[in-house]
Structure 1
Amino acid sequence: MPARPRDLLSRLLAHWRSERAVTARFSLSTPWSLHSSGVEGALIRICSGAPYWLALDGTQPVQIEAGDIVMLPHGDAHTVASAPGLAPRPFQPLIATHQVGAHGDQPIVFSFGGDGPVTELFSLHLWMPEAGLAPLVDALPRLIVVRRRDVPMTSVLALTVESLVNQTLEQPPGWQLATARMSDLLLVHIVAEHLRPLAERQASTLRGMQDPNIARALLQIHEHPERPWSVATLAAAGYLSRTVFSERFRRLVGMTPMQYLASHRMAVAAERLKDPAADLDRVAQAVGYESTKAFSRAFRRWNGKTPAEYCRRG
C-alpha cells in the first residue's frame, strides 16, 4: 500500500534535527515590553501565567495564551509585551548580562518588568542545519502559533517544555542533548499542525507535501538527490502522467520539478561544503553531477559564488 501523506512528512523530516539548542526562562511582570532584533536560527516559545502579545516587526500584535506554542522559523525581529503599545526595551543587553560563557553554552534566566501579573516565558533557540531542507524551511511563514484550545496535544507538550527548561537551569548531565531532541519533537508537531488548514495556502513545498502523488516525488528528491531525475521519472514516482504531474507540481509547489530538484541539490551541496575536509568530486557526485565543472557552474548560478569561494566565506 502506498505511504500516506503524513508518513511521507515523517520521512521528509526524519533527518531534520537541531544542531544545538539553548534554553531560557524569563519572568516578566506587568507592565513589560521587550524587543528582539532577530536571531540566527529558529525560536520556539511557550508561556504560563498571564498571556502576552507578540508582534513581528511591521505587523499587528497577536495575543498568546498560556500553553500556546509559538514558533519563529526564521528568527525574525519581534516584540513581546504585556500589552500592545508599550515602549520596548531591547532583549540583547538583558541576555548579555545574564548569560555565562558563549551564547548557546548556558541557559539564560532573568526577571524584568513592574509589579503586576507575571508571565513566565520559556524559550528554545535552535540552530538548524540546512541539510537540503531549504525549500521546506523557506516555505514556513514568519510566525506559527499552535493554539492549546485547538490542539489538545499542545498543552501536554507545553508542560513538558516548561519542565525541561526548568531542569536545564541546573545543567544536569545530558541537558543539551535532551533540549535538542525535545526541540525536534516540537518541530514535527508544529509543522504537522501548520499543515492542517489548507484554505488559502500559497504554493509551497508544504502544500505540495499534502498531495500524495507530489509528496512521493518530493520524497524521492530528498532521499536520492544523486539520481539522474527527469520530469518523466519523477512523474512516474508520483504515479502521474508527465503532463498532469508538471502542472500539479508547479501549481502546488510554486516552481517546476526541475527547479525544485536543482534548488534542493544545491542546498545539500552547501551543507556538505561546510565541512573543511569536503572533497569537491564527492560533493558533486552526491548531488547528481558527474563533472565537477558542471557542478561548479550550477552552484555559482544558485549561490553567486563558486564552491571554493563559498568554502572560504567568513
Structure 2
Amino acid sequence: MHASGDLLSRLLAHWRSDRAVTARFALSAPWALRSDGVEGALIRMATGTPYWIAIGQDMPQRIEAGDILMLPHGDAHTISSAPGLPARPFQPLIATHQVGAHGERPIVFSHGGDGPATGMFSLHLWMPDSGPGTLVDTLPRLIVIRQRDTAVTAALAQTMASLVDQSLLQPPGWQLATARMADLLLVHILGEHLRSSAEQRAGMLRGMADQGIARAMLGIHEHPERPWTVAALASACHLSRTVFSERFRHLVGMTPMQYLASYRMAVAAEKLKDPALTLDQIAAAVGYESDKAFARAFRRWNGMTPAAYARRR
C-alpha cells in the first residue's frame, strides 16, 4: 500500500468514534425537519423517494435513494421532501420517541403526510475532540457519496441499512458493535471522499493524496514522540527543506511544525482519557521532555489544562 493509504488507515485508527446511536425514520411527503446541529457527526442513507438537504443558509441539494451523506461537524441543517416547506424542529420530535438518555436506545419514528415515502437510516457518531489541522477539522460541512458515481456506494448503503436494522434488535453488545461497525463505514466513506477530485479536497486530505507529503505525515502519525524537525521531515520525502515546506503549507494549509504540534495534542487528548497514564507518560509519548512544557502546549491548543480536560472526560 502506498504512503497515503497507510496514513489514512493509521489516522482513522486514531479517530475511532467514542460511541454511536442509530435511528430509522419513515417519512411520507410532505415533510420537512430542521436540526439545530449536534455534537459529533451524522451519516445518513435513504431509500425510496429522493429528498433535499440544506446546510445552514446554503442552497438545497437533492439526495437520491442509495446516496450516502455525512455531516462531519454535525452542522445545523434542514431535510425535506421538497425545498421551501416549513420545517418542524428535529430534536423535540426525536425526544418523544427515544427511550432513556440519548444514545442508550435506537430511535424509530414515522412522520409526514400521505404522499411518497422515504425511508431514512441515520447514524450519529461522537468523535474524539479535534483541533486545528486534525482530520475532522479539515473535512467539509457536507460529504455526499453518490451511488451513480461509484459501485462501492451500493455496498456501503447496504452496510448502513444492515447496521441500523441489526442495532434495532439490541442484541447483547449492540452498542459496542454499532460503534465499531460505524468506524468501518467511516473508513470507506472518507476513503471515497479522498478519491474525489483534487478541487474537492482540503487541508489534511490534500496532503494525504500527495505521496511525498504523505510520507512526512505518516512519520508524524507513527512516531509523534520523535524530535521532528523540518529538515528530518523533508529528508523523509526526499525533498529540499524549501520545497517541502512550501508544498506542505500549500497542500495542508499550515506549516509542518504547526501540523506536528496539532497532531501531538490530538493524540494527547485521547491518552488523557486513560486514568492509568500519568502526565509524564503522556508528555513523553507526544515528544515533550517535561509535563510543564506539555501542559502549556495543551492549554494553547485546547483552552484548558490537561488535568481539567481529564476531569471533564
TM-score by length of 2: 0.93
Deviations 1:151-194 (A, max 9, x none): 11111221222122122212122322332232112211111111
Return 240-249 or 172-181, whichever deviates more: 172-181
Could you say if the C-alpha distance between residues 126 and 235 of structure 1 is closer, same or farther in structure 2, counting changes exceeding 3 Å? same
Preserved CA contact (<8 Å) 1:22 1:126: yes
Q: Which residue of 2 is the match for residue 85 of structure 1?
A: 84
How far apart are the structure 2 equivalents of 1:48 and 1:266?
A: 40
Gaps of 5+ in 1: none
SS at match of 1:227: coil
Q: Which residue of 1 is the match for residue 113 of structure 2?
A: 114
Q: Which residue of 1 is the match for residue 74 of structure 2?
A: 75
Q: How does 1:154-233 map to 2 (within 5 A)?
A: 154-201=153-200, 203-233=202-232
How far apart are the structure 2 equivalents of 1:270 and 1:7?
A: 23
Percent identity reads 73
Q: Which amino acid aligns with 1:297?
A: R
Matched, 1:54 2:53: yes
The Cα shift of 1:137 comes to: 1.1
Return 177-186 or 119-128, whichever deviates more: 177-186
Aligned residues: 313
Could you say if the C-alpha distance between residues 234 and 189 of structure 1 is closer, same or farther in structure 2, counting changes exceeding 3 Å? same
Could you say if the C-alpha distance between residues 170 and 202 of structure 1 is closer, same or farther in structure 2, counting changes exceeding 3 Å? closer
How far apart are the structure 2 equivalents of 1:164 and 1:266?
A: 32
Return 63-72 or 92-101, whichever deviates more: 92-101
The Cα shift of 1:276 comes to: 4.6
Deviations 1:181-212 (A, max 9, x none): 32112211111111223343465111000010
How far apart are the structure 1 equivalents of 2:14 and 2:310?
A: 23
Preserved CA contact (<8 Å) 1:43 1:72: yes
Q: Which residue of 1 is the match for residue 268 of structure 2?
A: 269
The Cα shift of 1:229 comes to: 0.5
How far apart are the structure 1 equivalents of 2:133 and 2:254?
A: 14
TM-score by length of 1: 0.93
Q: Which amino acid aligns with 2:187?
A: V
Gaps of 5+ in 2: none
Deviations 1:102-156 (A, max 9, x none): 1111000000000001100100011122488961111100000000000111112
Preserved CA contact (<8 Å) 1:284 1:290: yes
Preserved CA contact (<8 Å) 1:204 1:252: yes
Q: Which residue of 1 is the match for residue 255 of structure 2?
A: 256
Q: Which amino acid aligns with 1:185?
A: L
Q: Which residue of 2 is the match for residue 240 of structure 1?
A: 239
How far apart are the structure 2 equivalents of 1:156 and 1:260?
A: 34
Alignment RMSD, CA only? 2.0
SS at match of 2:103: coil
Could you say if the C-alpha distance between residues 49 and 201 of structure 1 is closer, same or farther in structure 2, counting changes exceeding 3 Å? closer
Preserved CA contact (<8 Å) 2:133 2:204: no
Could you say if the C-alpha distance between residues 299 and 67 of structure 1 is closer, same or farther in structure 2, counting changes exceeding 3 Å? same
Could you say if the C-alpha distance between residues 174 and 87 of structure 1 is closer, same or farther in structure 2, counting changes exceeding 3 Å? same
Q: Which residue of 2 is the match for residue 22 of structure 1?
A: 21
The Cα shift of 1:10 comes to: 2.3
Q: Which residue of 2 is the match for residue 37 of structure 1?
A: 36
